[in-house]
Amino acid sequence: MRPTLKFLTPVAAAALVLTACGGTTGGSDDTASSSSASGGGGCEGLKIGFFGALTGDAANLGINIRNGVELAVEEHNEANADCQVELQDYDSAGSPDQAPGLATQAIGDESVLGLVGPAFSGESKVADPLFAEAGLVHITPSATNPALSESGWKTFFRVLGNDNTQGPAAATYIQDVLQAQKVFVVDDASEYGKGLADIVRESLGAAVVDNDTVQQKQTDFSATVSKIRASGADAVFFGGYYAEAGLLLKQMRDAGLTTTFVSDDGAKDEGLITAAGAAAEGAILTCPCLPPEEAEGTFVEDYTAKFSVAPATYSAEGYDAANILLDGIAAGNTDRESLLEYVGSYDDAGVTKQLTFDDKGEPSEISVWAYKVEGGKIVTDQEIPTS
């Protein structure tokens, strides 16, 4: 069941409307797809959008979010016969190169009142300034680069903590729980992966014995594995996404390295296990996302019933972000300006937390969790102290 939202800004309202309308299958890399619902009333023809990867190497993370958004839209439309909202997909494939064109599409469609996303930090960096100029509110459930909220974009909101929290928390776990003395840090050179790895490096200080940088889509990590072996590290931190993380981990284990492997929310996906196979066992993954089983109400049951799979990384956060927009639209904020105002003053319970934002669009409640691969599944380990 969706929480009742009382004080939503215009942006939040728009997202709620879109979520309630139902979704579509993933679009192509450079086109957007939409699905409409019957009915209409005062909300007829209005949309909210999902902006993120539905195809490409990191598509699993985008699909998790999009499913949460679709569920919220469907529930909204079932509860509001006179306010049917449509869900519009903007499939970026996770590519910053595609993001500006898709952002321009969303901005040019005046029926789109708000967006859930962009999902990744790299695409956010290039799309968010366009949204700010156009006054199009967007709520990301997953882009964690701290700089996104430091640019003065009044249309930017985020429902989970950023990497200034996750990075130090990962370092705390490595030192206090794993008791690692020597740490090797690797990043994938992406806006997200390098940004987070740099924070981990700074937080670990002298415990970092060596570093390396790889590239997205890279498949041969033999040089990095050799560097890890030579460093004598007892833990490796990888900043990046699950495809490369899984291959690096497999090649480490194939080379006989038993070094503890720690990565991040971008790697917290079954795709890590697919890529690494049995080598994934014991891997630690940090995430500023709530364990799905901790979500309030009937979210887990409703999601599982609809998609025949349990919610995964960012699903609940996507659901919350969409409901903020949808509630705002249902409250009568049927233009971009009023929805933006509504989101900015939003303060109500979601399934992940109490949802309210500071003047930079950051959430008031933040938590970071450690997960581990156990028995071929990603399971909750523990919440990591963040202060």
Q: What is the mean pLDDT of residues 116-123?
A: 97
Cα-only R_g, the chain: 20
Q: What is the mean pLDDT of residues 222-245?
A: 98
Query: What are the tens digits of pLDDT across the range 132-180?
Result: 999 999 999 999 999 999 999 999 999 999 999 999 999 999 999 999 9
Q: Are residues 100 and 120 in the same domain?
A: yes
Q: Are residues 246 and 376 in the same domain?
A: yes
Q: Are residues 190 and 277 in the same domain?
A: yes
Amino acid identity of residue 116, one-letter, is V
Give the span between the Cα atoms of 284 and 174, in whole angstroms: 9
Query: What are the tens digits of pLDDT across the range 300-350?
Result: 999 999 999 999 999 999 999 999 999 999 999 999 999 999 999 999 999
Rounded to 10 degrees, what is the CA torsion of 298, 269, 99, 333? 10
pLDDT at 31 over 80: no
Q: Are residues 90 and 23 in the same domain?
A: yes
Amino acid identity of residue 52, one-letter, is G
Determine the length of the chain: 387
**DSSP secondary structure, 15-35, as one string:** HHHHHHT-------TT-EEEE
Q: Is the pTM of this model over 0.85?
A: yes
> With pLDDT > 90 as the criterion, what percentage of the chain qualifies?
88
**In whole angstroms, how far apart are CA 113 and each of 7, 47, 82, 96, 110?**
17, 6, 17, 22, 7
Give the span between the Cα atoms of 150 and 245, in whole angstroms: 29
* In contact, 154 and 185? CB cutoff 8 Å: no
Q: Is residue 186 classed as helix, strand or coil in its secondary structure?
A: strand
Q: Are residues 39 and 102 in the same domain?
A: yes
Q: Are residues 145 and 262 in the same domain?
A: no
Q: Are residues 82 and 148 in the same domain?
A: yes
Q: What is the H or E stretch that residue 144 is in?
A: none
Band (39; pLDDT cuts 50, 70, 90) = very low
Cis peptide before 118 (omega within 30 of 0): yes
Q: Are residues 273 and 148 in the same domain?
A: no
Range of the domain at 206: 164-287+367-384
Give the span between the Cα atoms of 249 and 252, in whole angstroms: 5
Q: Are residues 58 and 88 in the same domain?
A: yes
Domain presence at residue 362:
no
Query: What are the tens digits of pLDDT across the range 265-288?
Result: 999 999 999 999 999 999 999 999
- Count of structural domains within the chain: 2
